[in-house]
Amino acid sequence: MREATAGKRQVTAGPDSPEVARCPACGSEVRKRSRRTMDDTVTWYYQHKNGAGKDCPKRYRFGS
């Protein structure tokens, strides 16, 4: 997911965003991750911690 909640504000994943935040849908912990695309740019996203947010609709929806 691209957006998460840090404290009381919503943050967008990026190089300067917090490493750990909360999922806006279920409140579980999410961690910042990055990946390199085929054109050598870096994209940032938040991913649920292992075992957290099993019933969260954002966990399995692509492009959110």
Structure tokens at 34: 């990055």
| Domain positions in the chain | 3-48
- The pLDDT tens digits for 2-57 are 899 998 899 999 999 999 999 888 888 899 999 999 999 999 999 887 766 667 76
- Rounded Cα distance between 46 and 35, Å, is 11
- Rounded Cα distance between 60 and 64, Å, is 9
- The pLDDT tens digits for 29-42 are 899 999 999 999 99
- Rounded Cα distance between 46 and 37, Å, is 16
